[in-house]
Amino acid sequence: MAYVWRYTGTCLKPADLPAGVLDEWETTLKNMSAQIKASLDSKIITPDKFTEYLATPSYQRYADFLATVGAGWDVNMIELKQQVKILASKQAWLDGIADAFVDGYFGARVTSKKDKYKLARFVMGAVGHRPTVGGSYGVWNPVSVGMLLLRGDKRPFTYFDANDTIAPNQAAHEVALDAQLGALITPSIIAKSVQGVMFCKYANEGGKNEAWIDTNIITPFNAKIATLIDACKLSGYTVSYVLDWIQAQTSVNVVAELTAKA
């Protein structure tokens, strides 16, 4: 198919976080312990407040969810069980919060669990890490680059690496999205794309094959993204932004394209 320009970028999962990021996360979270406790105490400080702010909204939304399930489920019993259990747990929840912020327990648990933050590699491999230039962490990675290019931003070209290509060449690049609408919709497309990239990687590492990933992740995610792109493209333009699972490299490619102009 002919096109005006097409960007392709590969979302790699880096082997590790950029230097210092894990320690920075640990220190920042520990320093916020008093703020976290104060925020909880400002709303959920008594059993009655637990019921008002946590238990009641929880079982109300749970009931909405259960209303959509099939007739094979005993919806009333499931809803009742969730409601009475969460109401009965109010004092245990409050006691647990109080215990979490005494004698250094919060800080110790942050340290013991900080390796879980390495899952942020999935996100950073998709969008980049602004302070880091080079390697698997570009200033912008493909999910971000694709959207910036569609909006006419040429800054990403400065940070292209072996995982980024544009055809036929950079000179062919031009804006494809409405300036105001594109700016408004960009966060939604990036968020949905990051979620899709993560789901693909999780599915692959969990043993799912290419056909399963394409059917259950790539196709529905691309359909949602297409709806957003269509809402902000320039009038009369044909524009696409898609995720493409590449089994041979066990990675997602982002393909952003201005196919035709008015």
pLDDT for the residue numbered 71: 75
- Does 242 lie in the same domain as 185? yes
Cα radius of gyration rounded to whole Å, the chain:
23
Phi and psi at 130, nearest 5°, equal -55, -40
- Does 38 lie in the same domain as 160? no
Cβ atoms of residues 139 and 132 within 8 Å? yes
Say if 123 falls within a structural domain: no
- Does 149 lie in the same domain as 251? yes
Number of domains in the chain: 2
Give burial (CB, 10 Å; 0-12/13-18/19+) of 187: exposed
SS3 19: coil
Percent of the chain with pLDDT over 70: 98
- Does 210 lie in the same domain as 90? no
pLDDT for the residue numbered 262: 85
- Distance between CA atoms of 19 and 135, rounded to whole angstroms? 12
pLDDT for the residue numbered 134: 66
Tokens of 55: 């238990």
pLDDT digits (tens, 9 = 90+) for 182-217: 999 999 999 999 999 999 999 999 999 999 999 999
**Where residue 8 falls among pLDDT bands split at 50, 70, 90?**
very high
Say if 183 falls within a structural domain: yes
- Does 196 lie in the same domain as 147? yes
pLDDT digits (tens, 9 = 90+) for 75-133: 889 889 999 999 999 999 999 999 999 989 999 999 999 999 999 999 999 999 888 77
Percent of the chain with pLDDT over 90: 76
Check residues 62 and 6 and name the one with the higher pLDDT.
6
Q: What is the mean pLDDT of residues 220-239?
A: 98
Q: Please state whether the peptide bond connecting residue 168 to the residue before it is cis, i.e. omega within 30 degrees of 0.
A: yes
- Does 201 lie in the same domain as 154? yes
Say if 46 falls within a structural domain: yes
Q: Which domain holds residue 89?
A: 21-117
Say if 122 falls within a structural domain: no
Average pLDDT over the chain reads 93
pLDDT digits (tens, 9 = 90+) for 129-162: 888 776 667 788 999 999 999 999 999 999 999 9
Strand runs (DSSP E) across 106-220, as ranges? 164-167
- Does 133 lie in the same domain as 182? yes
pLDDT for the residue numbered 245: 97
Q: Element (H or E) spanning 109, and its range?
A: helix 105-113
Which residue bears the tokens 């939304």?
61
- Does 94 lie in the same domain as 65? yes
- Does 146 lie in the same domain as 106? no
- Range from 1-10, 106-115, 122-131, 231-240 carrying the lowest mean pLDDT: 122-131
- Does 184 lie in the same domain as 80? no
- Distance between CA atoms of 237 and 35, rounded to whole angstroms? 49
Phi and psi at 244, nearest 5°, equal -140, 115
Say if 124 falls within a structural domain: no
Say if 232 falls within a structural domain: yes
Q: Element (H or E) spanning 259, and its range?
A: strand 251-260
pLDDT for the residue numbered 132: 77
- Distance between CA atoms of 95 and 32, rounded to whole angstroms? 20
Q: What is the mean pLDDT of residues 20-27?
A: 92
Any bridge partners for residue 191, and if so which?
none
pTM (two decimals)? 0.85
- Among 96, 117, 138, identify where a domain stops: 117
- Does 111 lie in the same domain as 89? yes
pLDDT for the residue numbered 192: 97
- Among 88, 117, 146, identify where a domain stops: 117
- Taking residue 84's Cβ as centre, other Cβ atoms within 10 Å add up to 12
Q: Does the structure show a pLDDT above 80 at 253?
A: yes
pLDDT for the residue numbered 69: 82
Say if 37 falls within a structural domain: yes
- Among 68, 96, 117, identify where a domain stops: 117
pLDDT for the residue numbered 133: 72
- Distance between CA atoms of 149 and 144, rounded to whole angstroms? 9
- Does 30 lie in the same domain as 12? no
Give burial (CB, 10 Å; 0-12/13-18/19+) of 208: middle
- Provide CB contacts within 8 A for 59, sequence distance 6+: 79, 82, 83, 86
- Distance between CA atoms of 14 and 135, rounded to whole angstroms? 9
